[in-house]
Amino acid sequence: MQKTQDFIQSNRERFMAELFDLLRIPSISADPAFSADVHSCAAFVAERLKEAGADAVEICPTAGYPIVYGEKIIDPALPTVLVYGHYDVQPAVPLELWTTPPFEPEIRNERIYARGSADDKGQFYMHLKAFEAMWASGELPCNVKFMIEGEEEVGSNNLSTFVKNEKQRLAADMVLISDTSMLGNDTPSIDVGLRGLSYVEVEVTGPNRDLHSGVYGGAVANPINILSRMIAQMHDDQGRIAIPGFYADVVALSEADRKALNSAPFDVEEYKKDLGIEALHGEEGFSTFERTGTRPTLDVNGIWGGYTGEGAKTVLPSKAYAKISMRLVPNQRSETITQLFSDYFKSIAPPSVQVEVRPHHGGEPVVTPSDSPEFKAASLAMKATFGKEPIPTRGGGSIPIVALFEKELGLKSVLMGFGLDIDALHSPNESYGVFNFYKGIETIPWFFHHYAQIK
């Protein structure tokens, strides 16, 4: 791997310049106003894949945004690694909270500031550059296939169809993904689990029109007041979710698993300081790692209605809305949980209002083995570049397609992410460490090296 590592060292500046070009494309999948940019981002990725040496590069159209595919089959007898990533990003609003504009990348304090720098452009691009370095150096030890999609941030619906229809093309031995974070730059870790997701939007309707809050207030239900009460009934005083049956399928962790999870280094004071909070909040009886990695949650992601403009308007609104997400753990199922939510939400609505529950996307939780050949290869790779073996952790976020890779392709994934919690994913001032970008490019070839030997 020496030639590969030398190649990386002598191309560092160019790699960063290319990443900057990628970060300049506002490929926001959620907002149709950016549709042309999402498409041009796919074209950009396809070009870079070709330049890196990939064959059969194709911008595969879907009912939504395209999937960029490319491969290098050096010998069908060798193992094949399927690399997955996403070139779409979250919306960048509120723009005024960014120190520098989200699509004008800039390095400050050794960090790359831009929307998508960590999630996931900076991370999937490491794989293109690691591949380029291995191929150019004549040191690519196994086959590789790339599948970079443009709809991860909106639920990967069309990718599901693609995966089901393209089993032959996607045949591989495992999936390698860099779209998660580590405990720290001195504490490498690998997520061996991700939470699932149920996402719903609720609408509460009171009177048939907005009313004068003096003329009618006190006699007619205010849907915002009602919605607030209903949301307050989602949790009990112990921080547990009050929806009947919500925990029925949750698998309790073994004492050994709990112990292992809680042995990872964690500084609660640092954690609170970083977030500017005096105290933590959550389900009683569980540690922070357990709460974020192994317990289901329910959070309101947005709530609106009535008057929110300048000054005051005395209105009793006709409608109130909220977006609510639930993070799921093994063996909860997204469809079941959405149904339980809907039934409960309707059951607690007073007769003075009407409610509607509209399901959005969902995704199933996953646990990946930490004793598999692919985990071992990732472990050895991180040992080679960090000097320490990674700690297995449970990630709180969701990558719904991971469960589908297992179900449809029979493939396990390794979540070898290089981000950090401070990257501010989905937030203003998202950033990715310069260290992390290069460390990822250096580590990935070691993964291929060890995987080819172990497999």
Q: Which amino acid is at 277?
A: I
CA distance 188 to 386: 7
Q: What minimum distance in Å lies between the beta carbon of 52 and ligand BES?
A: 23
Parallel, antiparallel, or unpaired: how do β-strands 80-86 and 143-149 relate? parallel
Task: Kindly tell me which of 151 and 179 has the beta carbon lying closer to Mn ion.
Answer: 179
Is 120 a binder of Mn ion (CB under 5 A)? yes
- Segment contacting Mn ion (CB under 5 A): 130-138, 175-183, 269-277, 331-339? 175-183
Q: Which residues bind ligand BES (CB under 6 A)?
A: 119-120, 152-153, 155, 179-181, 194, 197, 361, 363, 395, 397-400, 425
Q: What minimum distance in Å lies between the beta carbon of 89 and Mn ion?
A: 8
Task: Kindly tell me which of 80 and 431 has the beta carbon lying closer to ligand BES.
Answer: 431
Parallel, antiparallel, or unpaired: how do β-strands 106-108 and 111-113 relate? antiparallel
Question: Which of Mn ion, ligand BES, none does 180 bind, CB closer than 5 to 8 A by kind?
Answer: ligand BES
CA distance 374 to 173: 9
Q: What is the DSSP string of 37-103?
A: HHHHHHHHHHHHHHHHT-EEEEEE--SSS-EEEEEE-S-TTS-EEEEEEE--B-----GGG-SS-TT
Task: Kindly tell me which of 419 and 445 has the beta carbon lying closer to ligand BES.
Answer: 419
Question: Which of Mn ion, ligand BES, none does 378 bind, CB closer than 5 to 8 A by kind?
Answer: none
Burial environment of residue 11 by CB neighbours within 10 A (0 to 12, 13 to 18, 19 or more): middle
DSSP-based three-state secondary structure for 313? coil
Task: Write the CB contacts of 19 (distance below 8 Å, at least 6 apart in sequence).
Answer: 105, 112, 121, 122, 125, 437
Q: What minimum distance in Å lies between the beta carbon of 5 and ligand BES?
A: 27
Task: Kindly tell me which of 71 and 179 has the beta carbon lying closer to Mn ion.
Answer: 179
Q: Where are the alpha helices (DSSP H) in 144-300?
A: 157-165, 223-232, 255-262, 268-275, 288-293
- Segment contacting Mn ion (CB under 5 A): 40-48, 111-119, 208-216, 316-324? 111-119
| Size of interface with Mn ion, in residues (CB under 5 A) | 3
Catalytic residue flag (residue 152): yes
Q: What minimum distance in Å lies between the beta carbon of 400 and ligand BES?
A: 5
Instruction: Give the active site residue among 37, 88, 179, 374.
Output: 88
Provide the CA 300 distance to its chain's centre, in angstroms: 18
Residues 134-173 vs Mn ion: string with x where CB under 5 A? ----------------------------------------
Question: Which of ligand BES, Mn ion, none does 71 bind, CB closer than 5 to 8 A by kind?
Answer: none
Q: Are 113 and 435 in contact (CB under 8 A)?
A: no
Question: Which of Mn ion, ligand BES, none does 211 bind, CB closer than 5 to 8 A by kind?
Answer: none
Reading the block at residue 267, the tokens are: 């500084």
Q: What minimum distance in Å lies between the beta carbon of 123 and ligand BES?
A: 8
DSSP-based three-state secondary structure for 427? coil
Q: What is the DSSP letter of 251?
A: P
Question: Which of Mn ion, ligand BES, none does 395 bind, CB closer than 5 to 8 A by kind?
Answer: ligand BES
Q: What minimum distance in Å lies between the beta carbon of 403 and Mn ion?
A: 15
CA distance 285 to 263: 17
Q: Is the peptide bond before 331 cis (omega within 30 degrees of 0)?
A: yes
The phi, psi pair for 148, rounded to 5°, reads -115, 115
Question: Which of ligand BES, Mn ion, none does 18 bind, CB closer than 5 to 8 A by kind?
Answer: none
Q: Where are the alpha helices (DSSP H) in 255-303?
A: 255-262, 268-275, 288-293
Question: Which of Mn ion, ligand BES, none does 433 bind, CB closer than 5 to 8 A by kind?
Answer: none
Contacting Mn ion (CB under 5 A), which of 179, 374, 423, 430?
A: 179
Task: Kindly tell me which of 48 and 327 has the beta carbon lying closer to ligand BES.
Answer: 327
Q: What minimum distance in Å lies between the beta carbon of 363 and ligand BES?
A: 6
Instruction: Give the active site residue among 120, 132, 149, 152.
Output: 152
Interface residues toward Mn ion, by CB under 5 A: 119-120, 179
Catalytic residues: 88, 152
